[in-house]
Amino acid sequence: MLAALATARTRERLGISSFARISLAAAALLLLVLVYLTVNAQETQTSYELNQLRQENAQLQAEQDQLRYQKARLETPALVDQAAASRGMTQADPSTYVQSKPVQVDLSRPIGPPRPSDEPRWQRILDLLFGGSGDARES
């Protein structure tokens, strides 16, 4: 009862007639229907595009599979031999080997450069200049 009284007082203050209220409600309802139809149309368009892309993807997958099959078929040993023969190529004798010479390898010899001397550098320089013990040259 109190709510009805407040609504009646508000109506009197704002001066909104019943026709105006019905018109506002109809406009709001129309706006909601238009929003719903717009969203629904966009959803339908997106669904159509998605189906189109799926069909294109399936077509491209089938084309890729066909190309892989053709590639595998063209790379068979028989076709490679036939293509080589048509270009004048011949297969080498499989029993021909390159002759090699024996190589002497000293496995006890250390790998890499010789180990540097433990003597101080100044002592090695003096030995080189004055012909000292010669240990620096032997290392």
What tens digit of pLDDT does each residue of 11-25 get?
A: 666 667 888 889 999
How far, in Å, CA of 78 to CA of 72, rounded? 12
User: What's the rounded mean pLDDT across residues 114-138?
Assistant: 75
Collect all residues with Cβ–Cβ distance below 8 Å to 63 and sequence separation of at least 6.
none
How far, in Å, CA of 113 to CA of 121, rounded? 18
The confidence band for 136, taking pLDDT boundaries of 50, 70 and 90, is very low
Collect all residues with Cβ–Cβ distance below 8 Å to 122 and sequence separation of at least 6.
none
Three-state secondary structure call for residue 60: helix
Domain ranges of the chain: 21-86
Summarize pLDDT for 104-122 with one digit per residue, the tens: 888 888 888 877 778 888 8
User: What's the rounded mean pLDDT across residues 25-48?
Assistant: 96
Average pLDDT over the chain reads 83
Output phi, psi for 83, to 5 deg. Answer: -65, -40
| DSSP assignment letter at 112 | S
* Predicted structure pTM score: 0.40
